[in-house]
Amino acid sequence: MTKIIAIAWKDLRSTARNVPALVMMLLAPLALAALLGFAFGGGGGFDIAATKVTVANEDEGSPSSIVTAGCVVAGILESPDLKDVLEVTRKSSAEAARTAVDDGKAAVAVIIPADFSAVVYGGGTTARTQVELYENPTQEVGGSIVEGVVGQALLEFNGARAAAAGAVALSGGDREAALAAAKAAEQFTRSGGVTAGLQISQRPPQLPGDKSAQDISITGSILAGMMVFFMFFGAANVARTILDEDRAGTLPRLFTTPTSYGAILGGKFTSVFVTVTIQAVVLLVAGRLIFGIEWGRMDAVVLLTLVAAGVSSGLALLVISLTRTPAQAGAIGAGVYLVLALAGGNFTGTAQAGGAFGIVQKFTPNGWLLQGWDTTMRGGGSGDIRWQLLVPLGFAVAFFFFAVLRIRRRFA
């Protein structure tokens, strides 16, 4: 054990003096996470930017109406419950509303026709009218929200209108009954029957059986992916000392000493493992202090960090065992790490993937780790990520096993 610690300590001191490597291991993932996080919405959770909407209410009302149906629709769009997703302004005319969309000042124009109340509150069933939605075709999300809100309102208007028409039909066309039915339809719309309490809520995905799963920040999701990715490179920088010592002749001489292969490789593995563990801890603390990232429960965070360090260390030793020079290790290792990162989803943060990509992701240790980080940041504990821990741990054991076999054969 003393020899393992001595070998590991020597490599750790060498790594601490390698400033370029430290910059890549620590500053690069933080910088990338910050830039990508701000580019995709900052440090908060997923939010829909408020859609700018203009409303041109040309509704002239009807003889029986106190409040026009057009005012009801406009009031729904201006509801405080929708202020986070709709930013509504009024325009005096339909042409002004369309111009606002054409000039890029609004995403959608809602144009309410002059005969809207007359048709809605009328007792007839043959009259038709149309609310126009004039949209910027590039604003798909905002347009869909406005379509949904207006569509729901029109659906309930039609329900009130159908009820009024039915009452008139049952009365045999009596004028007094028609006026009473129109009044009832208007009262229904004004009293909140037409989607007055409509709300659009944004909630994060929930864990199975969990009713209080929390949202995660975009920066936290991206930093988790960058952290795992750069742990690969951090482990490779330390493991590359094996090739440096091999070229210098110190490693072959070390293997001729009474020190066992297990102690030598154990020392190398320990130095790599400790380095990437410290790297991960620094990134986790920096993410919490700088970006306010809530990483989740301590038990899950600790286990994920240790397993990720084991995977990175085992993979780095395996790559080193298959190469002859530091240049080969750098080129081949970078290719391997990049392919794993692309297949595992490191560049998309911890976002859950589906379809074929979701299947491919499960063939990579980092893909499982990212799923574990996603669950943990949403409030899950170690019991919720047991497979996200066990599968990567299996990868780590396999990597280290084949690396030891290869190195023993190489220096036998």
pLDDT in tens, 308-344: 999 999 999 899 888 888 888 888 888 999 999 888 8
Chain-centre distance for alpha carbon 102:
32
pLDDT reported for residue 65? 57
pLDDT at 385: 93
52 CB neighbour count, 10 Å cutoff: 20
Residue type, 304: L
- Poorest-confidence range of 73-82, 91-100, 197-206? 197-206
Residue 351: its pLDDT value, please? 60
Which pLDDT score, from 0 to 100, does residue 212 have? Answer: 41
Tell me, what's the pLDDT at 44? 47
| 3 state DSSP class of 65 | coil
pLDDT of residue 39: 54
Structure tokens at 103: 């000039």
Residue range 262-273: average pLDDT?
A: 80
Look at the chain and count its residues.
412
Per-residue pLDDT, averaged over 208-217, amounts to: 52
* Of 119-133, 160-174, 329-343, 380-394, minimum mean pLDDT range: 160-174
Helix (H, G, I), strand (E, B) or coil at 108: strand
- Across residues 91-107, what is the average pLDDT? 90
Mean pLDDT of the chain: 77
Sign of CA dihedral 161, 163, 164, 166: positive
Nearest 10 degrees: CA dihedral of 169, 175, 179, 184? -30
> Mean pLDDT across the stretch 115-135?
74
Least confident of 75-79, 135-139, 146-150, 271-275: 135-139
pLDDT given at position 287: 87
Domain 51-193 matching CATH 3.30.70: the answer reads no
- Whether pTM exceeds 0.75: no
With a cut of 90, say whether residue 83 has pLDDT above it.
no
Say what the pLDDT of residue 178 is.
54
pLDDT of residue 207: 44
Residue 112 has phi, psi (to 5 degrees) of -100, 125
Banded pLDDT at 119 (limits 50, 70, 90): confident
Provide the pLDDT for residue 354: 58
Cβ–Cβ under 8 Å, residues 15 and 238: yes
Candidates 3, 10, 83, 96; CA nearest to 50 is 83
pLDDT tops 90 at residue 45: no
Q: Is the dihedral of CA 14, 16, 19, 25 positive or negative?
A: positive
Residue with the two structure tokens 């429960």: 297
**Mean pLDDT of all residues in 342-359:** 73
pLDDT of residue 165: 55
Share above pLDDT 90 across residues of the chain, in percent, rounded to a whole number: 20
Q: How many CB atoms lie within 10 A of CB 393?
A: 18
Q: Which sequence spans correspond to the domains of the chain?
A: 2-44+215-410, 51-193
State residue 46's pLDDT score. 46
